[in-house]
Structure formats: structure tokens, C-alpha cells
Amino acid sequence: MSEKVNVLINGTTHQVEQGTRILDYLLSQEVQHPHICYSEILGPVQSCDTCMCEVNGSIMRACSTVIEDGMNILTASELAKKAQDEAMDRILENHLLYCTVCDNNNGNCRVHNTAEMMGVEHQTRPHRSKGFEVDMSHPFYRYDPDQCILCGRCVETCQDLQVNETLTIN
């Protein structure tokens, strides 16, 4: 039997299994919290920063921060929201918020779903084209550089799951 720790999340006391990451606990409780690069299989990639929350007065990544006894976690404080919004602004420089021609414009886009959850209605920074060609040559994946948010999930998958190091971020 695992030891439990007591934490305060958004003003409510919770008993959480020791060693649990904040985001994993929130998701297990069906609490919606922004996250884009995190993967249940890969774990924390720690590149997008949309999962930021306030922990004991400091900004921390919910995807990688392990819950400790006595923590005071705020998922939507002014400080947390400012960090989440800044992270989403940086992501949207690399991904159009209004991509009507995208194949994932069917409810299957984590960027769009997270932007909607966060109430993002417009891009504050203009989208910047990366200037590379779309690659549709492979039967299992395709690469559109102007939709890539540089989160690194594909690179982590190649390195940690496939163990072939085929992809890198250049």
C-alpha cells in the first residue's frame, strides 16, 4: 500500500499517492488543465509550458512536478494563467490558430483543444512560417513544418520508444 500525502488544490484538501505528478493527479480526477506536449506514454516532455501552475507561490510545470506533502497548488491563479497564456502565445507563433485546411481540424488537435479550453480567441503574436517544404513522402507520417509547434514529442518517441533516433529538432 502506497503512502498518501495531503495537498491543497485550488483551496480543497486532497489525499494523493506519494510520487504522483500534479498533472497525472489532475487528469485522474478529470480536472481539465492545459497541456500540449505531455504524453501519458512518454511522460513529461517539458517543452510547451502550457501546464504551468502555482505551487507554494512559484510557477511550476504540472507535468513534471511531483506532489509533496503540504503543497498549495493553484491551477488557475493570476500567476499561473499568465504563464499558461505566455506559453500558448509562443506556441501559436508556430501553429495557426485558425487552420481551416488542417486534417486535424476535426476535434483531434491538441493545440486547438487546449486553446479552446484556455479561452484563447486570437493570436497575439503573428504566425511565422518556417520556410521548409511539407513532406508527405512517408506512408506512416507526414510533416508540415508550419503546423509543428516544436514540442519534441515526435523526437522523444523516436528516441525513447522506437529507439532509432530518426528525428531531431534542427
The model's confidence at residue 16, banded by pLDDT at 50, 70 and 90, is very high
Quote the CA–CA distance of 24 and 16 in Å, as a whole number.
Answer: 11
Instruction: Report CA torsion sign: 149, 154, 159, 165.
Output: negative
Quote the CA–CA distance of 163 and 158 in Å, as a whole number.
Answer: 6
pLDDT tens digit sequence for 60-111:
999 999 999 999 999 999 999 999 999 999 998 888 777 666 666 667 788 8
Task: Classify domain 4-162 by CATH architecture.
Answer: Roll (3.10)
Write down the pTM of the prediction: 0.85
pLDDT tens digit sequence for 108-151:
788 888 988 999 988 888 888 888 888 889 887 777 888 888 88
Helix residue ranges per DSSP H, the chain: 22-28, 78-92, 110-118, 153-156
> In degrees rounded to 5, what are phi and psi of residue 124?
-85, -20
Question: What is Dmax (Cα atoms) for the chain?
Answer: 54
